[in-house]
A = this chain, B = another copy of it.
Amino acid sequence: MNKVVIFGVGLIGGSFARSLKKAGAVGSVVGMGRSAASLQRAQELGIIDVIGSDMGEALDGADLVLLAAPVAQTEAILAAIAPHLQPGTVVTDAGSTKSDVVASARRALGGKLAQFVPGHPIAGRETNGPEAAIDDLYVGKKVVLTALDENAEADVERVAAAWRACDAIIHRLTPQEHDKVFAAVSHLPHLLAYALVDDIANKPHADLLFQYAASGFRDFTRIAGSSPEMWRDISLANQSALLTELDSYLAQLTGLRARLAAGDGAGLESVYNNAQRARHQWITAIEAAEAPPSQDKAD
């Protein structure tokens, strides 16, 4: 690719730029964003070649545009891009939810919707900003593309090829499948962890309780250390799928409560056993094939 434009040059966008450069897969990277300081720093660090100021100029002749700014800005950025989007340019994003992004794109891009290929790289760390960007963030990590019926296969392939150049592994789901899956394995656990810590923190004897919390509690609640604003946005963006998963979990807990209240040891053990076995199979089958553990952004 000759020219790639990146909105948001922090961990996700900056690491994308660094990885493409390392692979020799891009000529010039233009950085766009609301923070002049971040753009300046990204240029000093060699993450981007040019700080874009004029939208038309930035997008002129671009092969690929990546939206890696906070998801709340997605629709506004797409709306700003739309008038300047040339036929040869493909736009993708890195948001943690997809149905809402597709709805935003439909509104903002109108007749140019076909040029937008939604994506979600399943990678991240707990650090942020241009300084956090590294050239191997995506190595061996999954990138889920949720192509639209309107997309030309060649455009989907352009996005896939860019991520493959970062050594990521491409998966494809529909936006609805994506949101159901991540509601279950990521968004619900975040909500549950926040809920537990808040519940404990609000008790009158919270200080006593926290004093005896140990490493099991620390790991269980690690994701409650994530950005509240980001997870508020993700929760609302994936409201419907998250409600479905939450209701399923509430039914599960209600069933477990009944077994506990009845002193049904065999009933409790069968749930614990099934969970332990399933988790062991997952760890064995999936994780063994993956890169060494790293922290997730908003997996």
Contact = CB atoms under 8 A, between A and B. Distances in A.
A16 to B, nearest CB: 18
Interface size class of A (residues with CB under 8 A): 35 or more
B219 A222 contact: yes
A90 B47 CA distance: 67
B287 A202 contact: no
A186 B212 CA distance: 9
A275 B193 contact: yes
Q: Please report whether the interface of chain A is mostly helix, strand, loop or mixed according to DSSP.
A: helix
Contacts of A268: 231-232, 235-236
B278 A198 contact: yes
Given A195-B253, A243-B257, A223 B216 contact: yes
**Oligomer copy total:** 2
B228 A181 contact: no
A179 B153 CA distance: 59
A219 B216 contact: no
A49 B172 CA distance: 62
A275 to B, nearest CB: 4
A22 interface: no
Interface in A216-251: 216-229, 231-233, 235-236, 239, 242-243, 246-250
Contacts of A197: 274-276, 278-279
A261 interface: yes
Closest 8 CB pairs of A and B: A214-B299, A228-B272, A201-B278, A197-B275, A232-B269, A185-B213, A198-B275, A194-B275
25 contacts: A122-B214, A182-B212, A184-B203, A186-B217, A189-B221, A194-B275, A195-B271, A197-B278, A198-B274, A198-B278, A199-B248, A200-B278, A203-B248, A216-B222, A219-B220, A219-B222, A225-B276, A226-B276, A232-B265, A243-B257, A243-B260, A243-B261, A250-B250, A250-B253, A250-B254
Interface of A: 122, 142, 144, 171, 177, 181-182, 184-186, 188-203, 206, 208-229, 231-233, 235-236, 239, 242-243, 246-250, 252-254, 256-257, 260-261, 263, 265, 268-269, 271-276, 278-280, 282-283, 286-287, 293-296, 299
